[in-house]
Each structure stands twice: as C-alpha cells, then as structure tokens.
Structure 1
Amino acid sequence: MDRLSKDDMALWHAWKRAAETVRARVVEDVAAATGLSDPDFGVLTRVAEDGKGSLRQNQLADSMGWHRSRLSHHLTRMEQRGLVTRRPVDGGVEVVITDAGRAEVARARPVHAAAVRAHLVEPLGKADRATFFACLAALAESCD
C-alpha cells in the first residue's frame, strides 16, 4: 500500500501536532522564565543528574542524540556563558557543570515541572496517563 489510510493519516497528524505543541509550550515556558534554551536545559540537566556534575562529552552527545560537532559548538557557547567547563580526560573530554550552571538548573527545574504538568500531565486523566504511557513505551520498544 503506497498511502496511509485516512484514519492512519489522521493519527499521524494528531501525534505530530500534540508532540510538537506540548514540547514547544514546555520549551517556551522554560525559556521565558529562565532564558535557557531547550538545548541548554538538556545539557545542564543531563550533566547535573546523569553525570552527577560531570559527564564525558561523547556520552552527553549520545544521550541527546546529537552529532559530536553540534554538541561541541553548543558547549563552546555554554562555556562562554559560564554554565559548563570542559577538561581533557583519558582519551576524551569531560563536561563539568559550574556553580552558575547548577544555579540555572535549580531555577529552571520548578518551571519545567510546572510546564510539563500544565501541558502534558494535567490535560490527561489518571487512566488516560497510564494508557498513554503504555502506548509510548510500546512505540519506543518497537523502534529499538
């Protein structure tokens, strides 16, 4: 079959619209309140949480789904703003969150949490959230 059915196309469009709209609203709320871009917030939270304050640059790139060159350029800008530093380690580079970066994450977390609740969690009832989560898990598993 060359084309999606009408129902399948409607599902695709509904998925895209919901995912893009919810994500955009969360990003806008965080940026408006903190000045952090979505990539800034993604880097800072991963280094602060996943790496406990530092993380190898290649691991960070993998966790964000970014090419190494894109991450390197972004980290240069974040270094210039005093949010992270980089240091050489055995055969690689380690990204370290600064005190200023930690302060930004601390300031952004409650804004991010409120935005996720407002735009994703609260519009769904408890039963719908469980069903939605199961659907997302099935989709993620099918793509692995």
Structure 2
Amino acid sequence: MSARLTEQEQRLWHAWKIAADTVRQRVAEEIKAGSGLSDQDFSIVTRLVELGDGELRQNELSVSLRWDRTRLSHQLTRMENRGLVTRSAVEGGMLVRITDEGARLVRVARPLHADAVRKHLLQRTVGIDHAALVRVLEQLALDSPPTSSR
C-alpha cells in the first residue's frame, strides 16, 4: 500500500470530513439558537431521557456517548452550574439526573433537531438510498475495522 492517498482517496476523505462537520455544525447551530443547548448539552440530555428515563450512571453515559470520563465530567460540571443536570454519589459511581429545566429544554430542542436534520441531511440527500447510506455509516462506526479477505 502506498504511503500517500491517491487523488480519489484524498477527495473522498476530504468530502467525508467536510460533509460530516458541516451537517453537524449546522444542526448544532440551530439547536443552540432555538434552545440555548450546545451540541454537547443536547447529546447528554437526550441520552438521559432516551436511555435512562431521566437518569443514568455517569459511566454508562460515557460509554453511550463514546466520550472519555474527563471530557464528560467537565461537561457535566458546566451543565450542573447551568441547572441542566445533577449528580449524586451512588454505590459504585455517580448518578446523573436531568433537572426539570434540562427536560424542558429537551422538549424545546427536539423539534429543532428534527427540523435541522431533515433540512441539512435528509433533504440534501434526496435520491440517495438512505438504507444503504445507513449501512455504510454503521459499518464505519464499528469499533474495529473489517478484516481483509486477502
């Protein structure tokens, strides 16, 4: 294998990075403008609501987000200071709970998120087989790359 990417490989890599960054940034900007929640805030509060009925152990939250513990801890401190979540010690770790204010902002942000995803991703990929795209993206998201059959 060559030490450098071919022109086509480089084009694919840059297109992937720019598209992923652009779509995510646009969606995050619309959520922030309409609800005040940052991309990180939204990720956490929606996980708490969807996976834990409003609460999760901090380590479970870290795994579900694929964030390291330090990053999550710093973000949760910022969110605690803004009244979005609380943390309490429980046997074997910390329990993170969404507050009433955090839950209120989730209700505000969810339709903003849905509209932004439709506008910046789904409407811009009309004509593309979304089921095939999902399969490709899920394959890319796997922790270990597929083994070569060579």
Q: Classify the TM-score, shorter chain.
A: over 0.9
What are the residue-to-residue correspondences of 1:1-144 with 2, within 5 Å? 1-125=2-126, 127-141=128-142, 143=144
> Gapped runs of 5+ residues in structure 1?
none
Q: SS at the partner of 1:123?
A: helix
Q: SS at the partner of 2:22?
A: helix
Shift of 1:143: 3.5
Distance 1:141 1:68, change over 3 A: closer
Shift of 1:125: 2.0
State the superposition RMSD in angstroms: 1.5
Q: SS at the partner of 1:66?
A: coil
Higher mean Cα deviation, 57-66 or 113-122?
57-66
State the aligned residue count.
144
Question: 1-side partners of 2:58 and 2:141: how far apart?
Answer: 25
- Under a length normalisation based on structure 1, what TM-score does the superposition of the two structures give? 0.93
Q: SS at the partner of 2:87?
A: strand
Deviations 1:32-74 (A, max 9, x none): 1111101110110011111111000011112222221221121
- Under a length normalisation based on structure 2, what TM-score does the superposition of the two structures give? 0.89
> Gapped runs of 5+ residues in structure 2?
146-150
Which structure has more helix as a fraction of its residues?
A: 1
Distance 1:72 1:142, change over 3 A: closer
Question: 2-side partners of 1:140 and 1:73: how far apart?
Answer: 25
Identity of aligned residues (%): 52
Shift of 1:123: 1.1
Residue 44 of structure 2 aligns with an amino acid whose one-letter code is V
